[in-house]
Structure 1
Amino acid sequence: MRGVDRKASRSRSTAVAAGLLALGMLTGCSGEAPEPLTTPPYTVDSIRLGLVSPGDLGDGATEIKDNGHSSHVVYTPPNSIPTCPYSQRSENIEVEVQPAIEPVGGNPTGRSIVAPQLVGPSSLPVVTQGAVVFQSASLADDTMNTVVAESAKCPATFSVLGGPPSVLGDYQVGSRSIEIGGWKGFAQHLVHTSPPDVNPDTYDDLVTVVVHKANAVLYVGYAQIKTVGQRADSDEKVKTLLKTTLARLG
């Protein structure tokens, strides 16, 4: 049985790196915010200047481009904005909710991942990120309103009863408003625990932040695998990370 447990653990580690593409946050960030590299109105290229880089996470981090392949464990289109991650896998959600919104009329930056080479309880986080840039602030406002409305439908708890071992189990979801450097939106905290016979030793601690400013909507998913008994702290760490990265966007 321990061989089965180790196989399930490796599967879950892979899924956190690949499955979190569906959306689908850092230690040691401190000090004064850097000078802005750009200002609104934003372009696809200028937004990319503010996205999380391997250097923001530290030694051992690397960047991976999402190729948009629909075989991900938990898939959403790479040009979409997350609203209720993992909900498409659940069989017991009573209210229809979309896991992501595909905006109309925007230019996506594409989705990228910054992650360690090997994902596990003691590793760096997995950061999944992207943005959509619009021709006007009003179009971005309308899109953000749609995303917020859809995310509000995400239930406080749901379960995934079938599928790969990495996604089986119970999910608890909480959301709060957030504002960083003039970027306003919400932070959605998701904690996933596996069935005891699949993986009793760890849990997934994921925070998805979606924020809006001027003509852009930006999202960052920050995921850690935590040992049972450790405190969930992704919400604190992603806020620290975003204070640095969003400052680059002015």
Structure 2
Amino acid sequence: MVAGGAFVLFAGGALSGCSSGDPQPLTKPPYTVQSIRSGLVTPGDLGKGATEVEDSDHGSHVIYTPPNSIPTCPYVQRSEDVQVVVQPAIEPVGGNPTGRFIVGPQRVGPTSLPVVTQGAVVFQSPALADDTMNTVLAESAKCPEAFGILGGPPSVVGDYKVGSQPIEMNGWKGFSQHLVHTSPPDVNPDTYDDLVTVVVHKANAILYVGYTQIKTVGQRADTDKKVEALMTKTLARLG
């Protein structure tokens, strides 16, 4: 899940831009809220059975962050054993958010489609976007390599392993964060959550995409590869 109560970066290496055979982008910098929305992940990108909803900003989320925020370390606010102060998300100053949109199946499970949580913040100038991205990067660097959640809803209790590295795709630069959540054996011994959050910046916009799969124990974690393919398509649309 992404830190917003909805399911949500990938641990693959630095990525190259799109090939000459890719379709022409739908938009280009400087970005607007509407132009960014035109390039976001759609139900059609995920396949049959996918649907889309907009986050209503209801505070009853299991893991809540404001829809105008940019994720830095999902789930960490629930942990009791983190040794440094780290925020799960940054609320930018002076930006216009697109809102947070969730694309996925109506029912989530090990055999279902992934759940994608996405959004962006658009700024008046690239300089403002640069400054905000620097703040996001600094906060995400504090995210621990491992932490635990001892109490709370059963869906979030357990151990979290985190890996993060820089990425570059189609001129967008940022970081990917791969988080694997395993539940205690007496809570859920059969599945684990394979989550990737991507935060990237270009020109006057910062965009994030969270991609989550529920995997059966023993299955290989492949969310990093899946989100890489999806982001290649999405960022090509945004130019």
Fold equivalence (TM over 0.5): yes
Identify the residue that residue 89 of structure 1 maps to in structure 2: 78
Identify the residue that residue 120 of structure 2 maps to in structure 1: 131
Mapped partners of 1:17, 1:189: distance in 2? 11
Q: CA deviation at 1:56?
A: 0.4
Identify the residue that residue 87 of structure 2 maps to in structure 1: 98
Q: CA deviation at 1:17?
A: 9.0
Q: How does 1:90-169 map to 2 (within 5 A)?
A: 90-169=79-158
Q: How does 1:221-232 map to 2 (within 5 A)?
A: 221-232=210-221
Mapped partners of 1:20, 1:184: distance in 2? 26
Whether 1:178 aligns to 2:197 is no
Mapped partners of 2:95, 2:2: distance in 1? 26
Mapped partners of 2:111, 2:74: distance in 1? 23
Q: How does 1:1-250 map to 2 (within 5 A)?
A: 16=1, 20-21=5-6, 32-250=21-239
Query: What RMSD over aligned residues (CA atoms) do the two structures have, in Å?
Result: 1.9
Give the AA of the match of 1:156.
E
Mapped partners of 1:94, 1:153: distance in 2? 10
Mapped partners of 2:162, 2:126: distance in 1? 30
Mapped partners of 2:100, 2:190: distance in 1? 31
Q: CA deviation at 1:62?
A: 0.2
- Residue ranges of structure 1 left out of the alignment (5+ in a row): 1-15
Mapped partners of 1:158, 1:41: distance in 2? 39
Q: CA deviation at 1:21?
A: 3.0
Q: CA deviation at 1:117?
A: 1.0
Q: TM-score, normalised by structure 1?
A: 0.89
Mapped partners of 2:207, 2:193: distance in 1? 23
Say which structure is richer in helix: 1
Percent same amino acid at aligned positions? 76
Identify the residue that residue 5 of structure 1 maps to in structure 2: none
Q: TM-score, normalised by structure 2?
A: 0.93
Mapped partners of 2:223, 2:51: distance in 1? 19
Give the AA of the match of 1:144.
M
Identify the residue that residue 6 of structure 1 maps to in structure 2: none
Mapped partners of 1:17, 1:119: distance in 2? 15
Q: CA deviation at 1:98?
A: 0.1
Q: Is the 8 A contact 1:131 1:216 kept in 2?
A: yes
Mapped partners of 1:34, 1:234: distance in 2? 25
- Residue ranges of structure 2 left out of the alignment (5+ in a row): 11-17
The one-character-per-residue Cα deviations of 1:27-84 (angstroms, maximum 9, x if unpaired) are xxx9943210111000000000110000000000000110001110000001000000
Aligned to 1:248, the other structure's residue is in SS state: helix
Q: Is the 8 A contact 2:195 2:223 kept in 1?
A: yes
Identify the residue that residue 13 of structure 1 maps to in structure 2: none
Mapped partners of 1:154, 1:88: distance in 2? 11
Aligned to 1:166, the other structure's residue is in SS state: coil
Give the AA of the match of 1:185.
G
Q: Is the 8 A contact 2:25 2:237 kept in 1?
A: yes
Mapped partners of 1:21, 1:82: distance in 2? 12
Alignment CA distance shift 1:188-1:17 (3 Å): closer
Give the AA of the match of 2:169.
I
